[in-house]
A and B are shown apart, each in its own frame.
Chain A
Amino acid sequence: EAGVAQSPRYKIIEKRQSVAFWCNPISGHATLYWYQQILGQGPKLLIQFQNNGVVDDSQLPKDRFSAERLKGVDSTLKIQPAKLEDSAVYLCASSLKPSDRDRYEQYFGPGTRLTVT
């Protein structure tokens, strides 16, 4: 089966500019996650979708970050305006459903490396 797709793979922008990332999860996966991974740290969850609804966005800096999953399939994550500290790898992951204890496995995309100068 095809894996989680993300684009672009790399992006360099100046601070105060805007940027958007796209993710297409594995077909049939109801749950989609966006993570931020800063250099030297583990991934940190930004937002979790169940179909097209938000389950958890408690760690999303809502003053500058937004995300949507309008049709319950692919998703976009936007940063506007970007700050230097937003430089990181943004990972998208998907899973079948979180409520099934045997199906917690999350499948990750290749990530988008963002550099803010």
Chain B
Amino acid sequence: AQRVTQPEKLLSVFKGAPVELKCNYSYSGSPELFWYVQYSRQRLQLLLRHISRESIKGFTADLNKGETSFHLKKPFAQEEDSAMYYCALSGSRGSTLGRLYFGRGTQLTVWP
């Protein structure tokens, strides 16, 4: 069964410190992995996807199939990064194609 685990409900760091939000998944196949972000009073929006291999707002995430992880990283956190971050998985076949399975989210707070 598909599952996304975000072990940290809350994460706090100081401005300028590195930040890593953890995400582990289970899926019997080749999933698509995403990070979605929700800033205060804004809509849930896509931050990045593993297939694009791009850096968005200084964030990167590498898919590690051996460890079934897709951790989100940023070397120097900024106050505007404070938000709720959701890791999500989409299946690659059948009824799971395009369907998103979300983790419970990690609330990141960056202190000045």
- Residues of chain A whose beta carbon lies under 8 Å from any beta carbon of chain B: 3, 31, 33, 40-45, 48, 55-56, 58, 91, 95, 97-99, 101-102, 104-111
Contacts and interface: CB of A to CB of B under 8 A. Distances in A.
A58 B32 CA distance: 21
Contact of B4 (A42, A109, A110): A42
Interface residues of B, number: 24
Interface stretch (B14-22, B42-50, B55-63, B68-76): B42-50
B104 A55 contact: no
B43 A42 contact: no
B97 interface: yes
Contacts of A3: 43
B25 interface: no
A43 B104 CA distance: 8
Given A98-B98, A109-B43, 10 more contacts: A3-B43, A40-B104, A42-B86, A43-B102, A44-B102, A56-B95, A91-B44, A95-B98, A102-B51, A104-B32
A42 B104 contact: yes
A99 B104 contact: no
B98 A108 contact: no
B99 A108 contact: no
